[in-house]
Chains A and B, each alone.
Chain A
């Protein structure tokens, strides 16, 4: 028996609701409960067969009401918590907009999108009555408010504002007009006195329900607002929006001041939210399948700090007179707190109890000084312009335990920078002057603050202004970064310059270098560039020569980067500035974890990760020192579900090769222009590792072409070859190996599809033949050379004027064919063996490199086959080669599926073996042969996946179909993982199925 079993799914979250510390969320048709106090999942239950959960309400008797589409359920919380208990799906005959409960919890008021209320007994599920105000036009939103025995309905219409009516009398109390466009959200305060609403006009309006007057209007969201709710005794309003932000508004201010903005979701749409006032958190759900938590009471958490000190207040607290113009200069972190130097050379210490203390005052450091610290050793070093250094070791209580002074001699220039780094028992400091002939002077200190060694490292022969330092103990390599994206590496013991990377990537200043991984003769450095990009640079010395390659690279969407950290669970955290904000971004999981509006990057600042992923950010603003510590709170700004792409997934590719830890790599491309590399584990959980932002337009296709190579294509003729390095257990890395240059300036030209065939020389893959097909009907065939990473155009031609949709290269024994599918429904095949002959030859089903032609490209020969298979566009094609013939499966925009055969009898005929006209009730977007079977997996926009069998007389017969919750179902991938075919289905979400055939 063929079965299709759902293993995992993620998709838009449309409803969230707190019941104490239990957070209920509607994830597609599933009801999920997470306990936020432990951040663990309590249950996941199927609520509805097909419909998604759009709303959740809880009665006074702890009965949970769920609704979505015309489906409905009432379940006691106890029942839900019982593992064996299944949710009973009920239904009415119309779309449900909202469900309210009576005060005693006995009856539910179900509001339909035709402004009708069904009064239903919660226990017996009997309809008691049906109520209406006589106005039955369509609603986009609505709310049933119950205060005592009074039931009021707020109905958000398409064109006629908000209709407020009384359930008992079925009479209209108010018709609130003032919004433009359809009303997308309404809520009544729990005292029944006020109403908030939002519409297509992107504003929030607060109304007085007694008078029907608009009290205030708030603006701020950059797109439509979907959800609103009151909290904190109706003094605050929560809103979630299409612009992905979640905002808090002051309901008591004149024009609804926007007091907080959270960047909550990715791509598009923060759909829903709820507030837990007891814990002080907001939960939100979005299109990206994420469940986010925001701390709205951060200042009350254990260890949380928000504080500010002016120079006067520090002067008062330490009883140290400040001179008139004395200001805070630099500050650095030490184990016990922070050390700050003033413009007069005073050193202050701020301990963890937030008490200030004067350490010392040294006039040598008045005016100009540089302060650095060896944090773990609790050591600070202060340097003056003329190279005088003072090393200070602090005791636990912050008193000066020891201090030593020494001088850098022999530099022609003044000291302009000091860089430090620490490793096990090594404190290292590099002193720099701007004079090119001055070497870097490097000191290694003992824990007793003695200079163990002084080394002179010659500067590289290029413009160099140092910015960051990293030391790898294992190989004794020291890497110094500079502006102009230049790096220099030395071997310390021999004081030799090993390698210089001059402008190794585009960009300007390197903000930070760090050792990410280290092995014998091999180090991976992380390199962060201020303009927003970062790289993983692998440096090896395995053949007696320094070699390097970029393993991974990416960039953030907005802002400047100052550095990178790793969180406790190995996630990459990037931090920097974006206009007036400092931010910390979890790059692995793609969400913001911290922001502080500090005025921008041009100021003194200090950022530190504390234990348990708490953060400290300190900065100077208007000459005062500000500090914020997030405190110990596990729910501080996090994602319970990480979700996936924020927009529709358009292409999926699975790396068949199983990795050492029994996981597989997966690539997805989505409308949000991101290429995501993820790891699929044994249970088919998908964990995102990289979200690559190289494309600027929506992805058409992404595909692994080999074990460590992939290609992606998009609109604007973008095509990248990606290299995937999976040699490090920590994480796989992905970087761009090559970029195919656009052939025209037409920004509308899209590369619709591509295919590749490996090209061998001496039994080794040296390159790939790459066929690309375009929206202007162009066809190109390239040779991509692995070594030079370059593309050579071999064939260039045009199909007709219609848009091509599919490309496939088919190798037979001694011939190579190109096949295309197009919007006109035709399949065309060319034998391209001869036209490639002088460049490549085909033998034994393999493509062999001959001598590449260097002259102009050729045209395609006369086509072998041109046959109409579908009435309109061929959306998807898959190919299976057997020794006897080539089988082709195609899925069309015309709802039909066809099985074709090439080469079996007549080499130039395409046989239609089987054609199913109404194979789906909508466009078939993806078809795939299931490995090791005579079956096909088909995905269509009607949200049904089907398995077809063709083992009997090559006739397609439907074997199994299954509903998928992923809407806009647009792509699929079938891979044999652990001997079992696994189907991945993408669209507005991603679902994984085991195909039991």
Chain B
């Protein structure tokens, strides 16, 4: 399906273009904020896995409209990102320990008020591997969060509610006052996507998070006492703790339904809008080109 037919029917996509957002994801963050007042008193934010940048746009409009003197937004992604007013962008892999160190450096030792991550890996179709990589993205974000988030601050990350999501709920429960699984209406009901909203950061007593450039995520959380599986000498399989987080659907019921099919007449002009942000080059661009030229058999 071409772009133009998509934007006729996906109302969030269309609305994003009309409001100048680079992706329809912007509305997910806006709806989460409506429910949880995430932006209240927030000045300094880390936006992880941020490309093409619609969350950063939302945050930038919100924070910089308030004219805060020491406001700061850092946006990180594997993909290059076009610049956004008042946002420092960084092209890097958040699973690489050096990336987190770099972000801390940009913040110059100052804490952040809010950390968010909308990260999603390219899925392979191996569900357990995809869930593992997704959990790794969240853990990397959490690693940074424990190093930079002020006590009482909030953390939001995209999750896919797969078979081990309750392990993550349990671990996050050790670090925050409240852990909620939230689903904004802008997120499709047919996808497993939802967001983990962690309110009120509570540093673990007796554990000082220390980022080491040659350390792995597993090593980072050793001793944090958040119930992660440990490496046992005898390789015995131990069960990890599992907890189910409460579920909250957010966004008004009168908001658009991202699963519904709309016809054009319902409230939109029919002029086609140009995409705000061109899609980035995929790694298999050359393979596609060769295929087009008939060079692949």
Contacts and interface: CB of A to CB of B under 8 A. Distances in A.
Contact of A242 (B125, B259, B261): B125
Interface residues of A, number: 99
Given A219-B287, A824-B253, A922-B161, A72 B260 contact: no
Given A748-B261, A871-B248, A125 B235 contact: yes
Interface string A859-896: 00000000000011100000000000000000001111
Contacts, number: 224
Contacts of A417: none
B102 interface: no
Given A90-B235, A126-B234, A201-B287, A942 B259 contact: no
B262 A180 contact: no
B242 A113 contact: no
A393 to B, nearest CB: 46
Contacts of B238: 91
A91 B229 contact: yes
Contact of A802 (B136, B248, B257, B263): B257
B236 A90 contact: yes
Contacts of A934: none
B247 A871 contact: yes
Given A137-B96, A801-B257, A92 B125 contact: no
Nearest to A48: B237
A983 interface: no
B174 to A, nearest CB: 17
Interface stretch (A542-550, A759-767, A772-780): A772-780
Interface string B218-257: 1100000000111111111110001011111100010011
Nearest to B165: A921
Interface stretch (B25-33, B202-210, B288-296): B288-296
Contacts of A181: 122, 282-284
B171 to A, nearest CB: 13
Given A269-B125, A941-B161, A943-B163, A803 B189 contact: yes
Contacts of B9: 746, 748
A90 B231 CA distance: 11
Interface in A28-86: 49-52, 54, 68-72
A724 to B, nearest CB: 29
Contact of A967 (B161, B163, B229): B163
A109 to B, nearest CB: 14
B200 to A, nearest CB: 21
Contacts of B246: 917-918
B88 interface: no
Interface string A251-265: 000000010010000
B277 interface: no
Nearest to A745: B263
A52 B128 contact: yes
B284 A200 contact: yes
A592 B143 CA distance: 50
Counting chain B residues whose Cβ lies within 8 A of the other chain, the interface size class is 35 or more
B217 interface: yes
A744 B261 CA distance: 12
Contact of A873 (B228, B259, B286): B259
A968 B131 CA distance: 11
A159 B283 contact: no
Contact of A261 (B124, B235, B297): B297
Contacts of B257: 801-803, 823-824
Contacts of A199: 283
A627 interface: no
Interface in A178-203: 179-182, 184, 199-203
B86 interface: no
B192 interface: yes
B163 A823 contact: no
A136 B214 contact: yes
A823 B247 contact: no
Interface in B123-147: 124-129, 132-133, 136
B230 A93 contact: yes
Contact of B297 (A136, A140, A258): A258
A271 B129 CA distance: 13
A943 B234 contact: no
A792 to B, nearest CB: 24
A695 interface: no
B262 A776 contact: yes
A923 interface: yes
Contact of A747 (B1, B228, B295): B1
A931 B220 CA distance: 51
B20 interface: no
B125 to A, nearest CB: 6
Given A92-B235, A823-B189, A893-B183, A803 B261 contact: yes
A750 interface: yes
A912 to B, nearest CB: 17
Contacts of A872: 183, 185, 189, 249
A134 interface: yes
B122 A182 contact: yes
Given A219-B290, A921-B166, A777 B260 contact: yes
Contact of B132 (A95, A184, A825): A95
B97 interface: yes
B162 interface: yes
B249 A825 contact: yes
B37 interface: no
A94 B232 CA distance: 12
Given A219-B290, A893-B183, A180 B235 contact: no
A894 B96 contact: no
B289 to A, nearest CB: 10
Contact of A749 (B96, B169, B261, B283): B261
Interface string A956-967: 000000010001
Which of B1, B124, B242, B297: most chain A Cβ within 10 A? B124
Interface in B260-289: 260-263, 266, 282-287
B197 to A, nearest CB: 14
Nearest to A943: B163
Interface string A419-445: 000000000000000000000000000
B268 to A, nearest CB: 13
A527 B94 CA distance: 59
Interface of A: 12, 14, 49-52, 54, 68-72, 89-95, 112-116, 118, 120, 125-127, 132, 134-138, 140, 158-160, 179-182, 184, 199-203, 219-222, 224, 226, 242, 258, 261, 268-269, 271, 287, 744, 746-750, 774-777, 801-803, 823-825, 871-873, 893-896, 917-918, 920-923, 941-944, 963, 967-968, 988
23 contacts: A71-B237, A93-B231, A94-B231, A113-B132, A158-B96, A159-B96, A181-B284, A201-B283, A201-B286, A219-B295, A221-B287, A801-B257, A802-B259, A802-B260, A873-B259, A893-B183, A893-B189, A894-B247, A895-B244, A921-B161, A923-B192, A942-B162, A988-B127
Given A90-B235, A92-B235, A126-B233, 12 more contacts: A91-B238, A136-B215, A138-B133, A203-B287, A219-B295, A801-B257, A871-B247, A894-B183, A942-B162, A943-B162, A967-B162, A988-B127
Interface of B: 1, 5, 9, 78, 93, 95-97, 122, 124-129, 132-133, 136, 161-163, 165-166, 169, 181, 183, 185, 189, 192, 214-219, 228-238, 242, 244-249, 253, 256-257, 259-263, 266, 282-287, 290-291, 295-297
The 5 A-B residue pairs whose C-beta atoms are closest, nearest first, are A181-B283, A967-B127, A114-B216, A922-B161, A180-B283
